[in-house]
Chains A and B, each alone.
Chain A
Amino acid sequence: MRGMLSVYNAQAVRISDCPTLSVEAFSEVLVREVPGRSRLVALLAAPWPDGSMHLLAVLAGLADDSLSLLAAPVGSQYSSLTPAVTQAHWFEREIAEVWGIQPLGHPWLKPIRFQASAAGNPGPAIGITDFFSMQGEEVHEVAVGPVHAGVIEPGHFRFQCHGETVHHLEISLGYQHRGVERALRSGPDRRTQHYIETLAGDTSIGHASAWCRAMEQLAGTRVSPRAMAIRGIAAELERLANHIGDLGALAGDVGYLPTLSFCGRIRGDALNMTALICGNRFGRGLLMPGGVAQDIDGELAHTLLGRLDALESDTRGAVELMFRAPSVLSRFEGVGTVSAAAARDIGLVGPAARASGLEIDVRQNFPYGIYRFAYIPVCTGAGGDCFARAHVRWMEVQRSIEFLREQLRQLPGGVLQQPMGNLPPDRLAVSLSEGWRGEIVHVAMTDSRGMYRLYKVIDPSFHNWFGLACALRNQQISDFPLCNKSFNLSYCGHDL
Chain B
Amino acid sequence: MPIAAIIQVLLALLLAPLLPGVINRVKAFFAGRCGPPLLQPYYDILKLLRKGAVYSRTTSWVFRAGPVLGLAAAMVSLTVLPLGGTPAALAFHGDLLLFAYLLGLMRFVTMTAALDTGSAFEGMGASREAWFAMLAEPALLLGLAAMAVHTGSLSLSGMLDGLALADIRGPGAPLLLLVAVAFTIVLLTENARIPVDDPNTHLELTMIHEVMVLDHGGVDFGFIQYAACLKLWALAALLTGVLLPPPGGWPPANMALGVALILAVAVMVGVIESVMARLKLVRVPQLLVAASVLSALALALVLR
A interface list, Cβ under 8 A from B:
140-144, 149-150, 164, 251, 253-258, 260-262, 265, 325, 327-328, 330-331, 335, 476-481
Contacts and interface: CB of A to CB of B under 8 A. Distances in A.
B276 A478 contact: no
Given A254-B277, A255-B200, A327 B195 contact: yes
Interface of B: 27, 30-33, 120-121, 123-124, 128, 194-195, 198, 200-206, 273-283
B276 A476 contact: no
B277 A256 contact: yes
A261 B31 contact: yes
29 contacts: A140-B123, A141-B120, A142-B124, A142-B205, A149-B202, A149-B204, A150-B203, A164-B281, A251-B277, A253-B206, A255-B194, A255-B273, A256-B278, A257-B31, A258-B31, A261-B33, A262-B32, A325-B275, A325-B277, A327-B276, A327-B277, A330-B279, A330-B280, A330-B283, A331-B278, A476-B280, A476-B282, A478-B206, A481-B201
Contacts of B123: 140
A259 to B, nearest CB: 9
Contacts of B276: 256, 325, 327
Contacts of A256: 276-278
Contacts of A331: 277-280
A137 to B, nearest CB: 15
Nearest to A150: B202
A198 B258 CA distance: 58
Contacts of A258: 30-32, 274-275
Nearest to B201: A255
Nearest to B193: A255
Contacts, number: 89
A331 B201 CA distance: 15
A477 B211 CA distance: 14
Contacts of B205: 142, 144, 477-478, 480-481
The list of the 9 closest CB pairs from A to B, nearest first, reads A261-B31, A255-B278, A481-B203, A254-B277, A256-B277, A327-B277, A255-B198, A327-B276, A149-B202
A258 B194 CA distance: 14
Contacts of B195: 255, 327
Contacts of A330: 277, 279-280, 283
A149 B211 CA distance: 11
Nearest to A335: B280
B32 A261 contact: yes
Nearest to A481: B203
A127 B284 CA distance: 36
Contact of A328 (B30, B31, B203, B277): B277
Contacts of A325: 275-277
B120 to A, nearest CB: 5
Contacts of A479: 206, 280-281
Contacts of A327: 195, 276-279
A254 B30 CA distance: 16
A335 B279 CA distance: 13
Nearest to A159: B205
Contacts of B280: 330-331, 335, 476, 478-479
A265 B33 CA distance: 10
B19 to A, nearest CB: 18
Given A149-B204, A327-B276, A330-B280, 13 more contacts: A150-B203, A254-B278, A255-B195, A256-B278, A257-B27, A257-B30, A258-B30, A265-B32, A330-B277, A330-B283, A331-B279, A476-B280, A478-B206
A4 B280 CA distance: 50
A150 to B, nearest CB: 5
A262 B28 CA distance: 11
Contacts of A251: 277
Contacts of B203: 149-150, 253, 481
A30 to B, nearest CB: 38
Contacts of A328: 277
B120 A140 contact: yes
A10 B280 CA distance: 46
Contacts of A260: 31
A265 B121 CA distance: 32
A335 B121 CA distance: 22
B281 A478 contact: yes
A17 to B, nearest CB: 51
A175 B13 CA distance: 47
Contacts of B283: 330
A476 to B, nearest CB: 6
B30 A481 contact: no
Contacts of A335: 280
A289 to B, nearest CB: 41
A418 B91 CA distance: 88
A142 B281 CA distance: 17
Nearest to B279: A327
Contacts of B32: 258, 261-262, 265
A330 B32 CA distance: 25
Contacts of B278: 254-256, 327, 331
Contacts of B200: 255, 257
Nearest to B204: A149
A255 B204 contact: no
B214 to A, nearest CB: 9
Nearest to B195: A327
Contacts of B27: 257
Nearest to A321: B275
B120 A257 contact: no
Contacts of A265: 32
Contacts of B201: 253, 255, 481
A144 B128 CA distance: 18
Contacts of B279: 327, 330-331
A480 B206 CA distance: 8
A255 B280 CA distance: 11
Nearest to B200: A255
A150 B200 CA distance: 12
Nearest to A151: B202
Nearest to B199: A255
Contacts of A142: 120-121, 124, 205
A477 B127 CA distance: 13
Given A142-B205, A257-B27, A164 B277 contact: no
A141 B120 CA distance: 8
Most chain-B CB neighbours within 10 Å: which of A257, A258, A265, A480? A257
A327 B200 CA distance: 17
A267 B10 CA distance: 46
Contacts of B273: 255, 257
A140 B122 CA distance: 13
Contacts of B204: 144, 149
B295 to A, nearest CB: 23
A481 to B, nearest CB: 4
A164 B125 CA distance: 11
Nearest to B278: A255
Nearest to B276: A327
